[in-house]
Amino acid sequence: MANSLKDKIGSSDLVTLMSAHNPLSARLAEEAGFDGVWASGFELSAAYGVPDASLLSLTQHLDMTRAIVEQVAIPVIADIDTGYGNAINVLHVVAAYAAAGSAAVVMEDKLFPKDTSLLAGGRQELVRIEEFQGKIAAACEAGKAHDLLVIARTEALIADLGLDEALRRGMAYAEAGANLLLVHSRRKTPDEIVAFTERWRGPVPLVIVPTAYPDLTEAKVRALGKIKIVIYANHAIRAAVSAMREAFAQIRRDGGIHQVDKQIASVEDIFDLQRVPAMKAAEKKYLR
Amino acid sequence: MANSLKDKIGSSDLVTLMSAHNPLSARLAEEAGFDGVWASGFELSAAYGVPDASLLSLTQHLDMTRAIVEQVAIPVIADIDTGYGNAINVLHVVAAYAAAGSAAVVMEDKLFPKDTSLLAGGRQELVRIEEFQGKIAAACEAGKAHDLLVIARTEALIADLGLDEALRRGMAYAEAGANLLLVHSRRKTPDEIVAFTERWRGPVPLVIVPTAYPDLTEAKVRALGKIKIVIYANHAIRAAVSAMREAFAQIRRDGGIHQVDKQIASVEDIFDLQRVPAMKAAEKKYLR
Amino acid sequence: MANSLKDKIGSSDLVTLMSAHNPLSARLAEEAGFDGVWASGFELSAAYGVPDASLLSLTQHLDMTRAIVEQVAIPVIADIDTGYGNAINVLHVVAAYAAAGSAAVVMEDKLFPKDTSLLAGGRQELVRIEEFQGKIAAACEAGKAHDLLVIARTEALIADLGLDEALRRGMAYAEAGANLLLVHSRRKTPDEIVAFTERWRGPVPLVIVPTAYPDLTEAKVRALGKIKIVIYANHAIRAAVSAMREAFAQIRRDGGIHQVDKQIASVEDIFDLQRVPAMKAAEKKYLR
Amino acid sequence: MANSLKDKIGSSDLVTLMSAHNPLSARLAEEAGFDGVWASGFELSAAYGVPDASLLSLTQHLDMTRAIVEQVAIPVIADIDTGYGNAINVLHVVAAYAAAGSAAVVMEDKLFPKDTSLLAGGRQELVRIEEFQGKIAAACEAGKAHDLLVIARTEALIADLGLDEALRRGMAYAEAGANLLLVHSRRKTPDEIVAFTERWRGPVPLVIVPTAYPDLTEAKVRALGKIKIVIYANHAIRAAVSAMREAFAQIRRDGGIHQVDKQIASVEDIFDLQRVPAMKAAEKKYLR
């Protein structure tokens, strides 16, 4: 089966991904026109009410990724955090994500158990470069049969190790076989990422996650060149939280749903998103 | 362990529940002040992108219910649809929901596999009364050790069988041991539910789900008497869908997240909902 | 991806399958030289300690089937019982088994929830022929993209409906698109199956499960013709049970493991079955 | 709910546990008269066909433990390996095992991802003592509400660090709150364990796993004193493997099941283990 993400990267100047924490949010991302879905560890952890700190199990994230893949036609990139252990775990884990239909995995160079990247005062220790190269090589091996892309993610800037270390790690990861390099930053402005991009001379394109520096628009990213994928990594859950909070508060205030009912998606809208019309057509065909 | 839902029903004139499709939406419901959480089959089906037609497995709904129970302090009522089969299945299923910490289950008198109740033209066949009485008795038996409440739900009005049949079924279900009776209606006005409530002479209180007739406010429900629980059964996912749609469309329009970023919950808000501060406190205590 | 079961059926006079309840038993079946694995609902139910009566969820059986597929190279046939509901469920279910890598599914014409076939006094009601034809057509549609084989299983003989009804149903199922027909019998002798086979004029080959009539050897099956697959459907769990019982009793009797230790597989044997040597080789390559 | 393991330890001179990899093997252990079940990570890994090296996810082991707890009346001790990460993971993990009904957890002082203990040439690095004390304190905190016992396991002898280090670690773990201490050895004779036991002056009783040194019978263990629990940690899967191997080979040799059928547990035996008679009684009561 061809990897449609590969095709998109080849043919497009910039591929944009939206995060999802379940198949419904993924379907809304597809409907909105995003090129792919980011099966986000942060969003799924939040959906389960726990910190994004290696608390969800492999099974929980893998099962949700598979459920997402089954319900959208656009490619799904899986956030596998640190790979759930060492290179041996990575072999096992990446084979499972590939079999589940992921187009790519993103693996980061933090120690297991990780802490979430944007948290002030989080635990942000990195593994040795050689160790992570072994993990990348293992991921490439495990994904090969399914033509899976391996995206190495360096947290060197998150860990305050500086541009030189980030560039050095990026280069080492590309040498180990990574197909793309994700460089993450928690600065409030794009300067750090822009500087990294300008200095990047590696053989693979870049991926960014502009959560902390929202002013780096797609137009500016295109102008920079070298960056092939932008991941909007937490906006599905953030939008959902605001809206549920408001709707719940209003129902409490109103002592009923009479106001809220007109302000939110209708039950029929949800039926459509659940593909009820397709089920009704299938009932005609197969229920005898 | 005491069943806190029982206490609430005993001490309050009206208990209100908000639907949830994951622990996060349940936590927001708790935060907003609802008395309990409705572990909704409709919402979970929607979250998985499939029709609410007995397509999700017992495991999928049970696992999510358990995850919700673990993350909120208010009672959780589980929507077990038709009980996943006959009375033997019900014994197995209800024991599992009770062990998972549900305060109550709602079981409906439709045939398996069911179709969703509010769908125009849905398949709405009911099981025989005697058969459903056996299922209720089985549910009571299976939940006894955990002091679980069994809420029988009649779809007689959904199936257009009329008030008399709905009342007859309600009475039979109470006789079989149900602790409360949920009567469902898809009329756009409260008339049918009001008429049912006025004629109800059964020995157990009523539960309603006013999705289709939002004008029946809590004040009006209190005035009616007899109704002890109101379930807002799909407003979490409906609010989330609207908000994700809007946010996604705006990001596409803007070519970036610079506008959306200020309009939705912040990343720090999500950290708080994930209980990151409690984790940081635990790190000080236990990471040595 | 080519369906290797199809190739085996085409090239071999008789394909033999051994049941499995986990990847380990599947691997032992592969090691012994069987052509494929039967992901048995009966065995998995027994492994979970519950009757084979539609109590295990779709997720439990599907997850185990996927785990088995991942650990053996021979084709896996999934026992999907009645298809977990109506034709709409079948569409959903068979798509999932196909995506999980099953080479074929076997679906039976009993009512959901089913009772196990060999139980004296079990509930053995069949669905209408037209209804089951719709389910077969749905299964074929859902499995098409993965070249999945659909094996229809008639329980007409189990339900004591006689040879004529069994033949009529078999023919109707073949017309609806089934690739093979499994005919099941609980007679202690092969006479009933032999009679069915001799009278079978349908366009598809037969599958049998000779649990109740062990005297029908493979040599006799070959001589009969028409039968392409023999499934040994419960011998893995039965062998395991006897052996665990004996070992446990002896340990209790001996007040220790000193005798048993020499009589059962060694820890090193288990390491080999777990593919520890392959892991050690991978450690040398990837742990840096 | 009272913790029945605590009662057994208090009232018995020696508690014996048998390993299980599914509810069926647990039920056979109960039937044989063992005091409790060891929800073994090694056996479950083997059942899934993978090395016992932190490859199975928390969900896979936790779900199986819960399924076992639901099907036996004797206490279940869960093997949680290294606790799936640091002390924060332990808080999360142990709370889940306690909620699932485990009577105790065993947590070992190896680095995550671990390697299996009895493997010649395995990776056997230990965490710092202070770090493991934090993990023990976290486990005690998380299990408190369910009266769970925390058993600390030291792999100091497995890692060839000598008796003194093993004793030092054991003492430190008891000080951190562990209720019992498991000391593991891979010597072929009991000498090392005997020496450890004789020198042990800690305030908590010991637990041993005599796989490698089968000659240490229960009578000898009783004579040693101080040891309160003996775990037979892998004999269920080892017995099952031998038996399946033999049965499969014989079926292949015989070209049929006619011989094997008489040598293994009957289908009716399996029905009994599945509690089919209880289901039939429930059918009479609840199927109407």
Instruction: Inspect the interface and report whether the beta carbons of C48 and D22 lie closer than 8 Å.
Output: yes
Instruction: Inspect the interface and report whether the beta carbons of D257 and C232 lie closer than 8 Å.
Output: yes
Instruction: Specify the pLDDT at position A2.
Output: 63
Instruction: Inspect the interface and report whether the beta carbons of C119 and D276 lie closer than 8 Å.
Output: yes
Q: How confident is the model at residue A255 (pLDDT cuts 50, 70, 90)?
A: very high
* CB neighbour class for D286 (10 Å; exposed up to 12, middle 13-18, buried from 19): buried
Q: For residues B142-153, give the mean pLDDT.
A: 97
| Contact in structure between C15 and C36 (CB atoms under 8 Å) | yes
| Contact in structure between D287 and B86 (CB atoms under 8 Å) | yes
Nearest to C131 among A99, A282, A288 (CB): A288
Structure letter (DSSP) for residue A145: G
d(CA D147, CA D3): 6
d(CA D285, CA D288): 8
Q: Which of C251, C252, C254, C275 to mutate to test the interface with D (most CBs of D within 10 A)?
A: C251
Residue C263 confidence (pLDDT) above 60: yes
Instruction: Specify the pLDDT at position C3.
Output: 83
Residue D13 confidence (pLDDT) above 60: yes
Indicate the SS3 state at residue D111: coil
Residue range C15-67, pLDDT digits in tens: 999 999 999 999 999 999 999 999 999 999 999 999 999 999 999 999 999 99
Instruction: Specify the pLDDT at position A11.
Output: 87
Q: For residues A236-263, give the mean pLDDT.
A: 98
Inter-chain contacts counted by CB atoms under 8 A, chains B and D: 67
Instruction: Specify the pLDDT at position D123.
Output: 85
In angstroms, the separation between the Cα of residue A136 and the nearest Cα of chain C is 9
Domain boundaries, chain D: 2-234, 241-286
Secondary structure (DSSP) of D239-285 = HHHHHHHHHHHHHHHHTSSTTHHHHS--HHHHHHHTTHHHHHHHHHH
Q: What is the largest CA-CA distance in chain A?
A: 68
Q: How confident is the model at residue D279 (pLDDT cuts 50, 70, 90)?
A: very high
Q: Which residues contact B248 (CB under 8 A, 6 or more apart)?
A: A18, A28, A29, A31, A32, A34, A235, A236, A239
| Contact in structure between D154 and D183 (CB atoms under 8 Å) | yes
The interface predicted TM-score of the complex, written ipTM, equals 0.97
Nearest to A57 among D59, D88, D113 (CB): D59
Residue B137 confidence (pLDDT) above 60: yes
Q: Which of B35, B52, B81, B109 is catalytic?
A: B52
Shortest CA distance from D95: residue in chain B: B70
Shortest CA distance from B129: residue in chain D: D288
Instruction: Specify the pLDDT at position D158.
Output: 95
CATH number at A2-234: 3.20.20.60
Instruction: Specify the pLDDT at position C57.
Output: 98
Instruction: Specify the pLDDT at position D124.
Output: 86
Catalytic residue flag (residue A164):
no
Average pLDDT score, chain C: 96
Better pLDDT: B189 or A288: B189
d(CA C242, CA D24): 12
Shortest CA distance from C253: residue in chain D: D32
Residue C288 confidence (pLDDT) above 70: yes
Better pLDDT: A156 or D119: A156
Structure letter (DSSP) for residue D12: -
Q: How confident is the model at residue A284 (pLDDT cuts 50, 70, 90)?
A: very high
Q: For residues D155-182, give the mean pLDDT.
A: 97
Residue A3 confidence (pLDDT) above 90: no
Instruction: Inspect the interface and report whether the beta carbons of D280 and C26 lie closer than 8 Å.
Output: no
Shortest CA distance from A54: residue in chain D: D89
Q: Which residues contact C268 (CB under 8 A, 6 or more apart)?
A: none
Work out the percent of chain B whose per-residue pLDDT is above 90.
93
- How many CA atoms does the CB half-sphere of D205 hold within 13 Å? 19
d(CA C126, CA C82): 10
Work out the percent of chain D whose per-residue pLDDT is above 70.
99
Average pLDDT score, chain B: 96
| Contact in structure between A56 and A48 (CB atoms under 8 Å) | yes
Q: How far from each other are the two terminal CA atoms of chain B, in whole angstroms? A: 35
Collect all residues of chain A within an 8 Å Cβ-Cβ radius of residue B236.
244, 247-248
Q: Classify the phi-psi angles of C49: left when phi > 0, otherwise alpha if psi is within -120 to 50, otherwise beta.
A: left
Q: How confident is the model at residue A167 (pLDDT cuts 50, 70, 90)?
A: very high
- Extract the tokens encoding A247: 């709707």
Residue C2 confidence (pLDDT) above 80: no
Instruction: Specify the pLDDT at position B2.
Output: 63
Q: Which of B1, B65, B147, B286 to mutate to test the interface with D (most CBs of D within 10 A)?
A: B286
Residue range A123-133, pLDDT digits in tens: 889 999 999 99
> Which residue bears the tokens 């009616």?
B224
Residue A26 confidence (pLDDT) above 80: yes
Q: How confident is the model at residue C184 (pLDDT cuts 50, 70, 90)?
A: very high
Q: For residues D34-56, give the mean pLDDT.
A: 98
State the Cα angle at B261 between B255 and B262, rounded to 5°.
Answer: 125
Among A110, A107, A93, A96, which residue's Cα sits nearest to residue A53?
A: A110
Q: Which of D7, D13, D35, D52 is catalytic?
A: D52
d(CA D182, CA C106): 47
Q: For residues D31-56, give the mean pLDDT.
A: 98
Q: How confident is the model at residue B119 (pLDDT cuts 50, 70, 90)?
A: confident
Q: How confident is the model at residue C229 (pLDDT cuts 50, 70, 90)?
A: very high
Collect all residues of chain C within an 8 Å Cβ-Cβ radius of residue A279.
88
- How many CA atoms does the CB half-sphere of B44 hold within 13 Å? 28
Instruction: Inspect the interface and report whether the beta carbons of B287 and D96 lie closer than 8 Å.
Output: no
Q: Which chains touch B (3 or more CB pairs under 8 A)?
A: A, C, D
d(CA B187, CA B212): 6
d(CA C274, CA D22): 17
Q: How confident is the model at residue B123 (pLDDT cuts 50, 70, 90)?
A: confident
Task: Count CB neighbours of A250 within 10 A.
Answer: 18
Residue B115 confidence (pLDDT) above 70: yes
Q: For residues C106-132, give the mean pLDDT.
A: 92
